[in-house]
Amino acid sequence: MITHIVVWKFKPESELGATKAETAAALKEKLERLPALIPEIRSLSAGPDTLHTPASYDFGLIVTVDSRADLETYRVHPDHIPVVEYVSSVAAARIAVDFES
């Protein structure tokens, strides 16, 4: 099994055209649609940061898939690409890690 973890810091609200809370809600909705569209996704959990510490990022995602091949299928899936484009337009920074268990 592969666990894919991504966290994002959003751009300042003045650049987003929406509050960070509105951006997080939109991103969560988009991400939570993906398991019904991409059969390779075994589980998906996503949401905004709740602690808001100086070290916190604004939003996190955890996706599990069965294999590296399934992760690649997810990565390039036509239903995933618009989500990637959306988050790329609102994110100032991104950190990711993928590990096998």
The domains of the chain, with CATH numbers, are: 2-100 (3.30.70.100)
Q: Determine the pLDDT at residue 48.
A: 98
Q: Determine the pLDDT at residue 20.
A: 92
What global pTM score does this model have? 0.94
Pure H helices in 2-80? 13-16, 20-37, 68-76
Geometric angle at alpha carbon 47, from 85 and 71, rounded to 5°: 55
Q: Determine the pLDDT at residue 73.
A: 98
Q: Determine the pLDDT at residue 16.
A: 74
Among 18, 59, 65, smallest CA distance to 38 is for: 65
Mean pLDDT per 10-residue section of the chain, whose length is 101 residues? 98 83 96 98 98 96 98 98 96 97 94
Q: Determine the pLDDT at residue 61.
A: 98
